[in-house]
Structure 1
Amino acid sequence: MSLDVTRAELHLHEARQRLEHARTSRLAQLQALGETAQSADDHLLSEQRTAMRRVLKEIDEAFARIEDGTYGICLGCAKPVPAERLEILPYTRHCVPCRRHAT
């Protein structure tokens, strides 16, 4: 096995670990939001639940990109997303410049 293959496998293993951590954290947050008592802030809680579900979907999509070999490739420009960005936001689909253009 070549050193490049080993590095790539290690990179994907680390990405999976970061994604699992992100998923676990978001599921715990979603559960905590579900246990929050009903109040006048129901709209805010609903928005937070929606945001958590959206992130969980993005995490699932990132796992799919790992499986199909496109993880770490920007969907906007098709260039590699910098490793630093993937460490901070492992489920990101875009590099920073493409994300800025998308908003």
Structure 2
Amino acid sequence: MTLAPQTPETPAAEPLELLRTMLEEQFALHTNRLTDLTVYGRLPGHGGYDPRTLEALAAASRQAIAETAGALRRMSEGTYGVCEDCYRTIPLGRLRVVPHARHCTQCRQHRPD
């Protein structure tokens, strides 16, 4: 009886694709939100927003876009899900909660905010 050679399966491949989809959706959501906020900022009444609030919301959207883009870049480079400090695998549970995470929970606790 001959056994067919088995192709090694990556157990994280399916969750990784789900995380990629989540990140792509978040990127689109934050990009659309920033576009809307930019338009509101140019309207005479600022779309009903206080200018300072509008700027804070836009800054938060820019930050979210940068974090999401960074995670997608790390995916394409093959470094996604690896802690930037200790180089250990970031647990899947953490990535599900914070898909743009760059550090494992233990290293994150030791980093200044």
Taking structure 1 as the reference length, what is the TM-score of the superposition?
Answer: 0.81
Q: How many residues align?
A: 101
Q: Which has the larger radius of gyration?
A: 2
Is the Cα contact below 8 Å between 1:16 and 1:63 reproduced in 2?
A: yes
Instruction: Show CA shifts across 1:3-34 (max 9, x none).
Output: x33x3322321121111121122123223323
> Residues 1-103 of structure 1 correspond to what in structure 2 (within 5 A)?
1-2=7-8, 4-5=9-10, 7-36=11-40, 37-38=45-46, 41-102=50-111, 103=113
Structure 2: where are the runs of 5+ without partners?
A: 1-6
Letter in 1 for 2:14: L
The structure with higher relative contact order (CA 8 Å, sep 6+) is: 1
Distance 1:97 1:30 in 2: 32
Structure 1: where are the runs of 5+ without partners?
A: none
Identical positions, percent: 30
Taking structure 2 as the reference length, what is the TM-score of the superposition?
Answer: 0.75
Q: Deviation at 1:40?
A: 7.3
Change (3 A) 1:50 1:17: same
Distance 2:110 2:57 in 1: 25
